[in-house]
Structure 1
Amino acid sequence: MTRSLVIGGNGFIGSHLADKLTSMGRDVTVFDRFSHGIQNYNSRNVRQRVGDFLNVDDLRNAVKGQDEVFHFLSVTTPATAHSDPLLDIRVNTGQSVELFSACASAGVGMLYFASTGGAIYGENSAPKVSEHNPTSPKSPYAISKLSLEHYLEYFRLTRDLDYRIFRISNPYGPRQNPIKPQGLIPIVLRQILEGNPIQKFGDGSMIRDYIYVSDLVDMISTTLNVPSNHRVYNVGSGVGKSINEVLATVRQVTGSDLSIEYRPSPPTYVRRVVLDTTRFHSDFGAFQAISLDEGVARTWQSIRESAKAR
């Protein structure tokens, strides 16, 4: 049985990934702080390893005996990294390198890394960006992700640590923390539920590629134990939606009139990012993602149920 460690496995994507890996028959361990005593994943057959990503000894102990490690934790968000780039370097870049080193020393067979497809390419005139497009990150968050991609190649060349990188678009869905300043869809839905105005940055024409979290982990799971000639993959829906289109969908799903407060777009915002997932589908097969309407409806239902449970 494959022993799988999910770093950040109690978080948004990590908890869904832990559930998926367990359903595939893997021996799953979740590494997280569990700071609020809440378990976000549903699977019972999961080992909890309480630890701090900023503690090197915790990382070294966690990776021992693991066949594969999924690095799906980020201590900062794009907003906090923008506010304090040095903090992002210390706690994300530095500690991730510590994790890579620990994995190499422990003989981990494969490391899977959650990078960013929504920001790593920067401004690009192409209708869709592929892995062949140049990377030109504008934000500290994306700069850190690209740096870590290069560090993974360094550890492969020098210490035989194999890896696969997922450049993920804009994931959304249940378990995403709407309190954090990241994720347009859950933030907007939470504001509607609480009767608060929605902050809209710019004129609403900014386009992103949104992928529902269950589709995301299903796509990732299809790559496991499948050999390929590539180590970097775009993972997204391949469909671009503007902020205005997302808000129209939210309005339709919730049946709510939106009270909007307009804000200027931050200087690090990229106008358009839609991922070309041709490489992924060529190597791992076709995948049909659910529509934005359906994904928003499921997310809205989950947020309302969570609010009632409090």
Structure 2
Amino acid sequence: MANCLVIGGNGFIGANLCTALANSGHQVLAFDRFSRGIHAVSHPNVGSFIGDFMSRSDLAAALKDQDYVFHFLSTTTPITAESEPSLDLRTNVSQTVDLLELCVAANIKRFYYSSSGGAIYGPQGRSLYAESNSTLPVSPYGIGKLTIENYLRYFRVRHGLDSISLRISNPYGAGQSIEKRQGIIPIVLHQVASGGPISRLGDGTMIRDYLFIDDLVRMILLLVDRRPQYDVYNLGSGQGSSVNTIFDSIRRVTGVDFVTRDLPKPSTFVDHVVLDMTRFTTEFGKPNLTTLDAGVNSVWDLVREQTGQTSSTHSANEVLLPQPRPDSFSTSMSG
């Protein structure tokens, strides 16, 4: 069992990972700002460290006596990184390099980084993307993720820091924040609960690899229990679902035949990203994954509980979905 520091431990994946690590017997420290007083994790083996990712002293203090570090915090999203590319460089990239230096000084045994399972590959016209394929990101968000992966390689060679990049697909499930415009599934389900037509970017044929959060954290745990063979892994379902397929699943689960309105897709729109899971399944076996309808139903139950609704009705409200993203796991600094 190890001492584990989860940076971004109050975020979507971070909070779920904290619980999973603690349930496996690890001692976990969740690092986040907790600026809104929201603590997503309640477990006797999970402690809280209120800190700012941009503070080198906060990071250094949190690293004391830790074995593994899980970097699951991002200061930007694909949308904010595109609107201000230098912000990603000045915050995510620069501060992660500082974090890696601190990890070397703290003798961290292994560093796990939440990279991107879609943005990092870019539009190459493949049906599946394997870890050995070229990385050709066209968005500032993906470029930043790849830059950090390259720095991990540098710190591995120069300082011997053991690290693993997790190229995560489109996870969804409990804990996604619609306030942060995080994930098409919870956003649409919340809008269905409140009623109203839903806008989509493009014609709904864009294909992504959606993965239920419980399945994702189980995969990550397999990479913690022993030293993996590789330093980069795709983590996804290995199956593609179009936006239209997602909408159809939501209609089946909710029983609401909502209306959609199409809007032009952005220039950085990537039409097809599905992850090749051969490397992971060869080493760890094929995971038993949650079906799309079952996962959507789980989120729908939570949405109805949060909104206090037992049924859905239409209204004149409308929500504009954010740009369909190659991944939707990033947490903000203000978690």
Classify the TM-score, shorter chain. over 0.9
Matched residue SS, 1:166: strand
Deviates more, 1:281-290 or 1:214-223: 281-290
Matched residue SS, 2:105: helix
Decide whether aligned partners of structure 1 residues 19 and 259 sit closer, same or farther in structure 2, where only a CA change above 3 A counts.
same
Q: After superposition, give the CA deviation of every residue in 1:105-124 in whole Å (9 maximum; x if it has no partner).
A: 11100000100002111112
Matched residue SS, 2:180: coil
Structure 1 length-normalised TM: 0.97
**Mapped partners of 1:289, 1:124: distance in 2:** 27
**Mapped partners of 2:116, 2:261: distance in 1:** 28
**Mapped partners of 2:240, 2:306: distance in 1:** 29
Deviation, 1:91, is 1.3
Is the CA contact (8 Å cut-off) linking 1:79 and 1:182 kept in structure 2?
A: no
Deviates more, 1:190-199 or 1:282-291: 190-199
* 1:1-310 to 2 correspondences below 5 Å: 1-308=1-308
Deviation, 1:262, is 1.7
Structure 1 segments, 4+ long, off by >2 Å, are: 306-309
Q: Relative CO higher for 1 or 2, CA cutoff 8 Å, sep ≥ 6?
A: 2
Amino acid at match of 1:46: V
Is the CA contact (8 Å cut-off) linking 2:198 and 2:258 kept in structure 1?
A: yes
**Mapped partners of 1:206, 1:83: distance in 2:** 22
Deviates more, 1:190-199 or 1:57-66: 190-199
Which position in structure 1 is the counterpart of 2:328?
Answer: none
Is the CA contact (8 Å cut-off) linking 2:22 and 2:28 kept in structure 1?
A: yes
Q: After superposition, give the CA deviation of every residue in 1:244-290 in whole Å (9 maximum; x if it has no partner).
A: 11111111111112122221111112110000001001112221211
Is the CA contact (8 Å cut-off) linking 2:129 and 2:276 kept in structure 1?
A: yes
Matched residue SS, 1:65: coil
Structure 1 gap ranges (5+)? none
Is the CA contact (8 Å cut-off) linking 1:179 and 1:187 kept in structure 2?
A: no
Deviation, 1:159, is 1.3
RMSD over aligned Cα atoms: 1.2
Amino acid at match of 2:236: G
**Mapped partners of 2:200, 2:20: distance in 1:** 34
Deviation, 1:17, is 0.2
Is the CA contact (8 Å cut-off) linking 1:28 and 1:46 kept in structure 2?
A: yes
Deviates more, 1:72-81 or 1:257-266: 257-266
Q: After superposition, give the CA deviation of every residue in 1:75-117 in whole Å (9 maximum; x if it has no partner).
A: 1111111111111111111111111111111110000010000
Deviation, 1:152, is 0.4
**Mapped partners of 2:227, 2:45: distance in 1:** 27
Deviation, 1:307, is 2.5
Matched residue SS, 1:222: helix
Amino acid at match of 2:54: L
Q: After superposition, give the CA deviation of every residue in 1:189-236 in whole Å (9 maximum; x if it has no partner).
A: 111122233120101110000000010000110111323331000000
**Mapped partners of 1:306, 1:160: distance in 2:** 46
Structure 2 gap ranges (5+)? 310-335
Matched residue SS, 1:227: coil
> What is the aligned residue count?
309
Amino acid at match of 1:214: D
Matched residue SS, 1:134: coil
Deviates more, 1:196-205 or 1:103-112: 196-205
**Mapped partners of 1:229, 1:27: distance in 2:** 25
Which position in structure 1 is the counterpart of 2:322?
Answer: none
Matched residue SS, 2:209: strand
**Mapped partners of 1:135, 1:105: distance in 2:** 30
Amino acid at match of 1:6: V
Deviates more, 1:208-217 or 1:188-197: 188-197
**Mapped partners of 2:197, 2:44: distance in 1:** 39
Identity of aligned residues (%): 48
